[in-house]
Structure 1
């Protein structure tokens, strides 16, 4: 169906067109010229009238013109050229001639574009709901992904749909679950493998535990004492010489033994005591994080399951250490496994999903988690380690980490700073596409990147399993609390009356 014709100067990347029929932004169109069948996407639209132009200042004049001419208006739009769909979507070498007909792309053509092997169904086109949108799993995992949206736009549903699709191909998914959303989820295609946020300290780096102990980089003397005690404690555990499974207690004992050495001068003892005090604080805050009786946390990851590290009860610093520890060891283990250096290494690819990515890889700070997220983003592709950054505050995510992500699912974004930050990190997000982000409804998304052959506006499928990512029903919670309180008071009154008290 012809909806309009190209006008004015055209280029290899875009054309303007005029229409009398109203298409939709994001709709796919086809242009046939010079023996090519070219696919395009409507980027922007305006509606205007030659007669009712901006030079009229009298409403009565407008009424008179409308009475004479009726609803005589034109539609002007811009089309982004996506490529020749008969030539693997390669960009044409010649621009479309002015006057070239613009037609709505057929469902048959779009079905071919959005169907491929090794794909995962995200949903359906917003403007042509009969066309399914599938994304390439290999390119999604190896080239990383970001899921970005304002609160309540449908991030949790999108993540759950992705997880279920990956489970259908026996994927290994690892979720850093910051708010315990996925711990009790039920997926149609696989089970949840819940992993406790506990580390065997013999697999930790000194930098990971130093941050928890609040020893600053400028405290060189404290760092030296702590480093020596850490190394000794780890050797004691590895050699089976420890009397306790409490790793921090072993460090404490090492330092205390040195403190009680009569040959140590008092000035040095004061420095040792400073470190001992920090160890005691560390025991109070993070003692539950360490366990010398468990293996490497990577050994808990199971293929064909969604492996969930529940961080709902961990504070920000503990979460950063756990993320750093797991990503560092995963990269080391996959390198050893791929190069045949370790038979017990991580033997299969893993897709890491990081909720609250703006906390774990922030713009404003440099936690160890941020370093390893960026490192995986740069190197993980070679070793089958993929990242998915999920956030409702894109402007707060480290720009370097976000720019390493080659795929994006962007749901509704209203905040201009969020839009600009995402646009600066993605070469595929044009100014015209950015303008569409505030108008997306809940569950609608813009899909960009290598996992999709063309930029796409998608209505994400509704997750069919059971999840806990939605908003709390505030009114029901208030009513339930009041009801329970009233029942409790009545029960107390009855017990008092039964005991003979009247009031």
Structure 2
């Protein structure tokens, strides 16, 4: 590429937080474009992000644009041929930019100075961002983007950062599912992170039944590193998804039922009296005697206990709940996650209520196991970090009703201490409790149409993205911003199309090698 091929313009001002440069009339510039200002006087390379674009004209007084447009309209009506005199010189564009920082001696610095007057501005190249390689991102899923142009530079996150929680925010159709499959694909290759991913629609499993879409089962490393748990029959190897009634605690039911204060108190009394067997005892006991068994004075009305008993009976009729405490997939899932596997929980044939109950039980089992390991430092320092991905996260991370906590909120607050990260996927971040959202270090922001959603993201991000509201609104499908304390500025990226990524991944793993790879027979 020649010097003029990437030339954009010259800086015209203005201050450290707001840099302007002039472009010629015919030069294309887009909102969100990255630009490089190489200061010949100091040898410093400055990094800019375009946040606004406006018109300019030499010698134009107030109202000149409107008057000229009116004159041209008159010529349009008369169908006369016309042209603007010296259009390329007299007309131009002005790009308003954020100064992201500067690099010197292969190091990147926050902006503390400004480029010299009239510094030359050019388009970026992949090699301009080599300083990002030192950040150690090993879970790659995208390429750096400048506006609509994709640069030859892979971008991702570090496996060390997953325990600090990840938020994935996007309106429907913007590419959340593709992003999650691509991230899961990197984890399948990497093996340094365990991923527990809940799949309520079957799209992560096999693409959701769409012929042109692929799922995690199509990945070259699926046989080695993917473990599937399902409550429905599948055509490939899987383990039947089951939880034990003894694993269910009263707080799990807060996701699926509304309870009165008296019912909450009764649930606590049942759990205190019967321990892990509270649910089975509730179903089996006679209502008239139950109140006397759980309190000294029989303080609960039969109507209160009757509602709880009917709900217990309904739950224990579900095929995925077993009364034998030894029948559960929780322990198997935990061991696979510790081995750096991807555990996919397919709940596509279950109701939302069932999906939330299973998710709560499994996540608590993982949390308690890792918390127990924390008390053994020699063991804990070698344990594999875990990422738990949940769809429609606003259902379980909303502002608590009546102050009743849940395991997902607890993981958000305490998980990083125990190497457990939460990946919250949602279309409506405004519904998530702001205190919980503040616990998330990494945001993967795709297109968001609602201003209130964009506002909560801007205010909760660990980086200043206050000027990027319009850019977030204008993101096309597959385009995203990555914000994290680990990156020097919000990184614009293009998420790899999962199906295209699979073709490249296949090239690294020969079919014969896959056939001879070891299979975990014990799992099945």
TM-score tier by shorter-chain length is 0.7 to 0.9
Once the two structures are superposed, residues 57-84 of structure 1 have per-residue CA deviations (whole angstroms, 9 ceiling, x without a partner) of 4744346895334353221112222223
* Alignment correspondent of 1:46: 54
Match of 1:411 in 2: 446
Aligned to 1:108: 127
1:475 counterpart residue number:
none
Please, what TM-score do these two structures have when normalized by structure 2? 0.74
Does residue 1:67 correspond to 2:73, yes or no?
Answer: no
Structure 1: distance between partners of 2:268 and 2:413: 32
Q: Tell me the residue number matched to 1:231.
A: 275
Quick one: which of 424, 439, 448 aligns to 2:459?
424
- Aligned: 1:29 with 2:36: yes
Alignment of 1:259-408 (within 5 A): 268=298, 271-272=301-302, 274-288=304-318, 289-291=320-322, 292-295=325-328, 297-301=330-334, 302=336, 303-340=339-376, 347-363=383-399, 365=401, 371-408=406-443
CA distance, structure 2, for counterparts of residue 433 and residue 45 of structure 1: 13
Moved more, 155-164 or 29-38: 29-38
Q: Deviations over 1:16-63 (max 9, x none)?
A: 222224333322313325443232322322233344864534744346
| Aligned match for 2:153, one of 122, 132, 141 | 132
SS of match in other structure, 1:182? helix
Separation (CA, whole Å) in 1 of partners of 2:264 and 2:136:
56
Q: Does 1:253 align with 2:274?
A: no
Structure 1 pair 95–139 and aligned structure 2 pair: CA distance change class (3 A): farther
Number of residue pairs aligned between Structure 1 and Structure 2: 450
> Alignment partner of 2:360: what SS?
helix
SS in structure 1 of the partner of residue 156 of structure 2: strand
| Aligned equivalent of 2:97 | 79
TM-score (norm 1): 0.77
The one of 76, 94, 109 aligned to 2:113 = 94
Preserved contact between residue 115 and residue 133 of structure 1 (Cα < 8 Å): no
Stretch moving more, 205-214 or 73-82 = 205-214
Work out the CA distance in 2 between the residues paired with 1:270 and 1:163: 48
Task: Name the structure 1 match of 2:18.
Answer: 14
Deviations 1:281-331 (A, max 9, x none): 321245325322324714323134321223334444444443333333323
5+ residue gaps in structure 2? 76-81, 207-214, 231-240, 503-524
Match of 2:513 in 1: none
Task: For residues 316-350 of structure 1, give each alpha carbon's deviation from its aligned partner in whole angstroms, at most 9, with x where no partner exists.
Answer: 44444433333333233212213218989995321
RMSD: 3.7
Query: Does residue 241 of structure 2 align to residue 205 of structure 1?
Result: no
Change in Cα spacing, 1:271 to 1:150, as seen in structure 2 (3 Å) is same
Distance 2:444 2:291 in 1: 59
SS at match of 2:313: helix
Q: Structure 1's 315 and 466: CA in aligned 2 closer, same or farther, altered over 3 A? A: farther
Partner of 1:496: none
Distance in 2 of aligned mates of 1:118 and 1:15: 30
Q: Does 1:217 align with 2:261?
A: yes
Q: What is the alpha-carbon distance in structure 2 between the residues aligned to residue 58 and residue 45 of structure 1?
A: 20
Whole-Å Cα distance in 1 between the matches of residues 291 and 490 of structure 2? 68
Cα deviation 1:241-292 (Å, max 9, x = unaligned): xxxxxx63x4333446936999x99x95983464245313321245325322
Q: Counterpart of 2:243 in 1: which secondary structure?
A: coil
Q: 1:140–1:450: 8 Å Cα contact kept in structure 2? A: no
Task: Find the aligned partners of 1:220 and 1:417 in 2 and give their Cα distance.
Answer: 34
2:483 to 441, 445, 448: 448
The answer to whether structure 1 residue 188 and structure 2 residue 220 are counterparts is: yes
Residue 422 of structure 1 deviates from its aligned partner by 1.6
Sort the Cα spacing of 1:393 and 1:260 in 2 relative to 1 into closer, same or farther, 3 A: closer
Q: 1:18 to 1:29 in 2, by over 3 A?
A: same
Asked if structure 1 preserves the Cα contact closer than 8 Å seen for 2:412 and 2:440, the reply is yes
Distance 2:449 2:307 in 1: 47
Q: Which of these residues, 180, 187, 190, is aligned with residue 159 of structure 1? A: 180
Could you tell me how far 1:429 is from its partner in structure 2?
Answer: 5.0
Aligned-residue offset at 1:99: 2.4
Give how far 1:374 is off: 3.2
TM-superposed deviation, 1:150: 0.9
User: Residues 344 and 194 from structure 1, CA distance in 2 versus in 1: closer, same or farther, beyond 3 angstroms?
Assistant: farther
- Tell me the SS of whatever aligns to 1:280: helix
Q: What is the deviation of 1:357? A: 1.0
CA shift digits 1:75-107 (9 cap, x unpaired): 111222222322632224333333233233343
Q: Provide the residue aligned with 1:500 in structure 2.
A: none
2-structure distance, mates of 1:135, 1:296: 31
CA distance in 1, matches of 2:71, 2:122: 36
CA contact 1:190–1:304 (8 Å) conserved in 2: no
8 Å CA contact retained: 1:149, 1:392: yes
- Determine the C-alpha separation between the residues in 2 that align with 1:169 and 1:220: 44
Q: Deviations over 1:129-166 (max 9, x none)?
A: 34223223235413221111111111101100000001
In structure 1, C-alpha distance between the alignment counterparts of 2:381 and 2:398, rounded to whole Å: 30
Quote the Cα distance in structure 2 between the aligned partners of 1:122 and 1:3.
Answer: 29
Helix, strand or coil for the counterpart of 2:467?
A: helix
